[in-house]
A and B are shown apart, each in its own frame.
Chain A
Amino acid sequence: GESVGLHLPTLSVQEGDNSIINCAYSNSASDYFIWYKQESGKGPQFIIDIRSNMDKRQGQRVTVLLNKTVKHLSLQIAATQPGDSAVYFCAENINNNDMRFGAGTRLTVKP
């Protein structure tokens, strides 16, 4: 079946460097995508979203890029901090109320 997946299960970066987390999706009908951050033992926290009619959206220190041609989504975190260490999930919205999550990438920030 169609699903959302991630290219890298783990990512380790040095504090202050930029991080890039990638996600591939296969449902071409998806019209909305979200990146979530989940810290250990907690629920997912909304980071940033993007609609399918956009290819880039920026937030505070984060940027999401959407390439519909290759069905690819990425999350860029600028000047990564230790507090950014967490698991990051991309999710795609299918048919309004149906949200599907990718496998997740664990980001570790080294001081």
Chain B
Amino acid sequence: GAVVSQHPSWVICKSGTSVKIECRSLDFQATTMFWYRQFPKQSLMLMATSNEGSKATYEQGVEKDKFLINHASLTLSTLTVTSAHPEDSSFYICSAYYGSYEQYFGPGTRLTVT
């Protein structure tokens, strides 16, 4: 149990376009999901907390209008990178809580903006 999937696993887009990344909890319901960004050889940085049925909570320095998060159901959260630029190229990882403290991560999405 506790499987989190992401789609797509990798995406290449042109600068100025928008990209949507999906995060799904496959065998459990997740009222809260998290979105992280990871640059090469660096740690995971929390971008935002996605809450089902309400607005996401963004970390300081993360532009909410650029990184749109929608958590429309208990098994799906989406992250849309709007007007992507090369500096947005990164590894985006989502996670969800299973149980009180156990956080399970998706496999990540590699975004490359050309």
In terms of DSSP, what is the predominant structure of the interface of chain B?
strand
Among B4, B44, B105, the one with the most A-chain Cβ atoms within 10 Å of its Cβ is B44
B contact residues, range: 20 to 34
Asked if A99 meets B103 with Cβ closer than 8 Å, knowing A41-B110, A43-B108, A44-B93, the reply is yes
Chain B nearest CB, measured from A53 CB (Å): 13
* Segment of A63-71, A75-83, A101-109 engaged in the interface with chain B: A101-109
- Which parts of B60-114 form the interface with A (CB within 8 Å)? 91, 93, 95, 97, 101-108, 110
- In contact, A49 and B107 (Cβ under 8 angstroms): no
Asked if A43 meets B105 with Cβ closer than 8 Å, knowing A99-B46, A100-B46, the reply is yes
Interface residues of A (CB under 8 A from B): 32, 34, 36, 41-46, 49, 89, 93, 96-104
